Structure 1
C-alpha cells in the first residue's frame, strides 16, 4: 500500500510520531481548541462536523477523513496519548511496513480487547453513564437497523470490547464503517435530549460508538487482527479504580477516560 494515513486525534499541542508520511495529527474541535502554535490538520476544513466534537469526541476526525481523505488505501485513528505499538518495540508506534503486512490478510487492525471480567458491556456502560441513550440506541436498532439487533445483543452481553475508537482499515471497509456509524448516531440524535447532561456525559455519542464498532464488526463478519497499544504518560490506574467503585454505588458523573 503506497498511501496509508493514521490520524492522531488531539485537542491540544502534543509531541507526535515522527513518521509524517504515515501519521497525520488532527486537531479535533478545531475552532475551540486552535492556538497559533498548533500546526495539525484541522477537523473543521472541508465537509465536517467539527462543531459536534464536544458530543462526538474523536469521531469528528473520522468524519473529516471520510469526507475529505480520498486518495488513500487505508485510514486509521489513534489518540495523542494512546497509540498502536510496534511489534518489535513495546513503546514505539506501529510502522508502515507492519501495517502493510497486517492488512495483507485482514481488513481491519484493532487494539486488543478490554475485559471487564465481572461486568458485561451493558452493565459497565450503565454504571458509568446515563442509561437513557443506551436504551434509546437499543430501541433504534431494533426498529430501524434490525439486521444489527442480534449482534447488538451479543456485544452488550459480552465481557469484552474493542474500545477507544482506535483502528486501521482498508479504505472501502472504512467507508462502510463510517456510513454505518454516522447514520445510526444521526438518527439517535433526533431521539434523545442531552441538553441537561454534564460536560462529561454530553460526550455520549463518542462513548456509544465504541460499542457500535464491535456490533458492526460482528454483524458484517469483518476480518480483523488485534495488536497491542500503549499509553504515553500516567495511566491514572488508582483514579480509574476509585471511579469504578464509585460508579458501582451510583456516582455516574465520574470520568472514565483519563
Structure 2
C-alpha cells in the first residue's frame, strides 16, 4: 500500500519523524520559502491561498500526486489520532482503510444550527451564494445540503485519509463550487481571516458529501501540537501592557486582535488556556480599580508565575463548585494562598467556575468566613 499524509503548513514546525508524514507549504507562490515541498508547482492555485487556506494544498495533491494508492491531509499543528491517542502509523492505517472509505475528524455538535453559526461569524450572503451554486451544479446533492444547514453538526479542519481515487472525486466535487462562487463575492474587501472563506465552508461540505456518498467513515480525535504563533504573540503583548499596569490598553489591544481573528479564543487556538487566563486578569484588575481604585495583583511577576497562580485559584474554585455544600476542610496552605488574592479576584474565579448562582453564594459565604473578609457574589 503506497500512502502519504501531507501536513499543510504556512510556517516552520517540527515535522513528525515518521516518513509517512510530508510537510507541504501552502501559499508558496505568495510567501517566503520555508524549505518544504511547495504547492506552486505543476497545476496549482497557490496564489489563491488567501481565499482557500489549506485547500490550495488539497488542490495540489489532487492535480499533481499520481503515484499513491492512499493520501492523507493534516495540519502542522493538528493530526488525526488513533484510539490510543497517538498519530497514525502506516501499519495502523492498513487494516482501517480496508474497513472504512475515509478517516476524518469527529463530527462536532454545535449549540446552534450550522447556518446560524456561520451567520454569526461570517457574511450570511456568502453562504447563500454557496447554496445558489450548489443547487445549480449538483441538484441531487442540494436537498441534503440544505437540510443539514439547519442542523447542528459539522466536521472541522479539512483533515482526511482515504484512497487517492476517492480523494480526487471529492476535490472534483469541491473546487468547481468555489470557482463558480468567486465572481459572486467581494472577498477582497474582507480582512485576512474572513477572506479564507472557502476553507471554512469546505469543512461542512466534507461532512455532507460523505453522507451523500454513503461512505463508511471512521471519525477520530484530533491532536493539537504546540501553541499557535498568533496566540503566543498575543499573550506576550498583553504582558507588556500588564507590566505597565495599563489594563485599558491591554483590553483594547485584545479586542483589536479578536476583531481580526474571531477564532483566537477557541480551544484549537488557545490550547493551554493562557489567553483565557489573561482575560481573567484583565477583568480582575478592572473590578479592583472600580472597588478600591488600586490594582492589587502583582502584575510584575514572571508570566508563568502569574498564570500558574490564577490556574491554581481556578482549580480551587472548581473544587468548591463540585462540593455541593459539603465543603472540604481548608488547609493552611490553601488559606494562605487565597489570601494573596483580592476578594474581587476570588469572586471572579468563582463566577467563571461555579455557574450555579445559589451554590456560588454559599461558596462566597464559606470563603468569607475562612479568609476573614467579604467575598462578593458576582
Q: TM-score range by the shorter chain?
A: 0.7 to 0.9
Structure 1 gap segments, 5+ residues each: 240-250
The partner residue of 2:93 within 99, 102, 109 is: 99
1:222 and 1:157 map into 2 onto residues whose CA distance is 22
The answer to whether residue 181 in structure 2 is matched with residue 206 in structure 1 is no
**What is aligned with 1:148?**
141
Q: Which protein is bigger by CA-based radius of gyration?
A: 2
The answer to whether residue 41 in structure 2 is matched with residue 27 in structure 1 is no
Structure 2 gap segments, 5+ residues each: 235-257, 270-378
What TM-score, normalized to structure 2? 0.60
The DSSP-based 3-state class of the residue aligned with 2:35 is: coil
**What is aligned with 1:132?**
125
**What is aligned with 1:62?**
58
Q: Which has the higher contact order (CA 8 A, sep 6+)?
A: 1
Mapping of residues 80-229 of structure 1, within 5 Å: 80-88=76-84, 90=85, 92-116=86-110, 118-229=111-222
**What is aligned with 1:256?**
263
TM-fit CA distance, 1:162: 1.1
**What is aligned with 2:15?**
16
Structure (1/2) with the larger strand percentage: 1
What TM-score, normalized to structure 1? 0.87
Q: Alpha-carbon deviations, 1:18-51, whole Å to 9, x = none?
A: 111x11100011133334xx33110101111000
Structure (1/2) with the larger helix percentage: 2
How many residue pairs get aligned? The number is 238
TM-fit CA distance, 1:253: 5.4
**What is aligned with 2:38?**
42
The DSSP-based 3-state class of the residue aligned with 1:123 is: helix
The DSSP-based 3-state class of the residue aligned with 1:230 is: strand
TM-fit CA distance, 1:141: 1.7
CA RMSD, Structure 1 to Structure 2 (Å): 1.8
